[in-house]
Structures are given as structure tokens and as C-alpha cells.
Structure 1
Amino acid sequence: MSTPPAYFEAMYAGAVDPWDLAGRWYEQRKYALTLASLPRRRYRAAFEPGCSVGVLTARLAERCDRLLATDRMPSAVVSAAERTHALPQVEVRTLTIPDEWPDGTFDLIVLSELLHYFDDTALHEILGRTLDSLEPGGTLVAVHWNHPAPEHRRTGRDLAPVLAARPGLRLLTETHDPDFTLQTFWRRYPDGGAPPSPAAQEGLV
């Protein structure tokens, strides 16, 4: 089964930012690498489920015309909204995936420290909805903790081959850090092709 809601309720009952996302160097470094992995300078519409208190959200917003950030925990949503209140392109909502999913399509979806909480059934549904919502030529980023944890169903290393095997995705970059695995994908076009590389976009090759 997926990690039960009671786990998250207990974590947020004990602290506003229970994983110290705003303070830890691990998080700051991982966020910097996440942003550096994005192949486009700017995105039209992005979706970040499981945004927690919005630390990554605020950094993603610098690259997005519109960003929808969601979390299942109302207190986290309040914190994320406060953190991004001066960023009009950001919308923060309470939403529980995979049962709830936003309408519309996105050219960027970021799954950060999220998928390891779900069992096989829920993971399959989330990835299916992600692919349905991601526009052809769009970017999917997945980054997850590599160390076993009682509340996690799998590690980043376990998730990497699952994501790489999804039809419709083309792996662009992959980072195997001791602490996390980071993957960036293109959403293939209907003809099976993928967008030009960042260098090709600027006419360098």
C-alpha cells in the first residue's frame, strides 16, 4: 500500500517544514541540479505535485510563465502560498494525487521526492496521468532519495528504470548521485521524435 496520510499528518503536526527543505544544503544542491537539468530556458505551464512548503516552487517559478503547485496537506499549501505570494504566476492548491488531477496540459511536470511514497498501482496511475498531461516536446523531471526509508516504497534507484521504460518518454539526462537519482525526459512527439537539444535550439550544432 502507499504511505498512509497519517504519516504526513504527523510530520506536519510536529513542524512547519518537517524536512527542513529551506535550510538543508542537501536540498539546496538538489534543487540547483534539478533546475540545471531543465533543457529549456522557460516554460509556458508547469505542474509540481507534492510541493510541500514551496521551496522548490519559488525557484521553479523563475523559469515558468505559469506554475501550479499542489500538496495533499493543507498546512503545507498555506506555507507554499505564503512563500510564493509575490509571484503572480504561481497558483498553490490542495490536491491529492492520483485521485485528484488538474485539468489542462503542461510543458513541464516536476515529480520531486514524491513517487517513492506510492505502491505499484498508484505509481502506474500517476505516471499514466503524467504522460496524458505532458505536452509533446514537454519536459518531465523526476528526482528521488536513494536511501531506504521505512515510509518509502522504493528508492530513486528503483524508480529510475520504471520511468525510463515508460513508452512516450525519451531520457535526456540522468544523474546518479549517492543521495538521489535525477532524471530528465522529453515527451516524444506523435511521430516518435524529440525536440532539439539545448545547443541545437541556439544553433550551435
Structure 2
Amino acid sequence: MTERAPHATLGLSADEVLTTTRSVRKRLDLTRDVPGDVLLDCIDIAHQSPTGSNSQRWRWMIVDDVDKRGQIADIYRANFEAAYAGAPEPEPGSQADRVNQSARHLAEHMHEVPILVIPLLADRMGEGTPSGRQASRWGGILPAVWSFMLALRERGLGSAWTSLHLSNERDVAEILEIPYDDYSQAGLFPVAYTIGTDFQLAKRPPAEEFVRWNTWS
């Protein structure tokens, strides 16, 4: 990896990083700048992830320009409102309500997040793409994206995996001058330092509820 000045890390174990990397929305610090070399360190780590045929068919678009962030945030917010229009209100205080409020907070403040990152797959994955090719291509970039989020966590930063902007993928490509016919956007990741680093394990059902051995029945 490229030699850069070292940045402070949290010193978490592998298991701690894996089990406490959350989708961060309300606890993104919108007032603190994110150094570019920290992002490059995280992407260097992401590039160590497994990839089919060792091909690294990816690029990373980092957006820190205020105007471009604002344009992308407008698209995201409009798609968020369309997605949630007419949806029943969750029970106050429920898990669904907390998720709803968190998602809405991010939509309302996306333009204030200091960095937006869009991972790009070097292939146009449109409708009708065979499932085998999709699995191969996405299986090459998604581990890198998760590794990027894990690396952020170890450095006191957070993000959230979002995809609502993809209904207007071509519009976002035009804003950022991405060759639309050659690259597919794998998501939109708001990146910032987190307010506090004390993230805990999420409540999840045990593995036994999801596993089948040798046959479905």
C-alpha cells in the first residue's frame, strides 16, 4: 500500500470491527472535515478484498465539492420522499420508527455530509443482464465496499450503504461526468467522522434460525 502519514485508529479487534460497524446516519459529524489521505488509506485496504480473477474492476468517485454534493443530495431526497410517500407511519418508539427517523435525518442532511463516495463497477449492469454475470461482477466489488466501511470504522469514521439515488443513476453520472455506458454505480456512501465511537452489537436472531443443513426441509 502507498506510504502515507499514519492516522489514529481505535485499536479494535477484528471481531469488534466486524460486529460494530453500523449504518451511521444521525451520528455523522457534519462539522468536521475528512482528510483525503484517510479515505485513500481506507480504499487501499478495500483493495485487499477478494475479487474474481484478481481483476479489481472498480473505481471510486469521491465527491467533496459542495455544489455537486448538493445536486446529488437533492436527487436522493426526492427519491426518498417518493419511496416513503403514502407509507404507513410505524408505531412510535418501535424499531421501524427509529429506522424511519434515522433514514429521514440522513435524507434531510445529505448535502451537509462532508464526503460522498460512489464505488463504480467497470461494467454496465442494466436490466436483462444474466444473473450469473451479475453475481460475478457484484461479487467482485461488494466485498471491497464492505472492507472500505470496516476501515472507516477503525479510523473513527462512519457511513451508510444507500442506493436511493440509483433511480436517477444517469443524472448522477452526468453531474460527475462518469461514463454511464461503461460504469455501474454500486451505491452512495455518505462519509464523516462519527459522534462518539461506542457502537455496539445489533440485535440479531441467532444463526440457527437461518441455516439449513444439506436439504431445505
Shared fold (TM-score greater than 0.5)?
no
- By relative contact order (CA 8 Å, sep 6+), the higher-ranking structure is 2
Name the structure with the higher strand share.
Answer: 1
Question: What is the TM-score with the length of structure 2 in the denominator?
Answer: 0.27
Greater Rg, structure 1 or structure 2?
Answer: 2
TM-score by length of 1: 0.28
